[in-house]
Amino acid sequence: MNAPAPIPDAVADFKVRQWPQARRESELTAADAERRFQLCRTPYTAEAREHAMSDMARTRKQLATLPQRTGGVWS
Report yes or no on whether pTM surpasses 0.75. Answer: no
**Number of alpha carbons in the 13 Å side-chain half-sphere of residue 12:** 5
User: Tens digit of pLDDT for each residue in 2-58?
Assistant: 777 888 889 888 888 888 888 888 888 899 999 999 998 888 999 999 999 999 999
Q: What is the pLDDT of residue 75?
A: 41
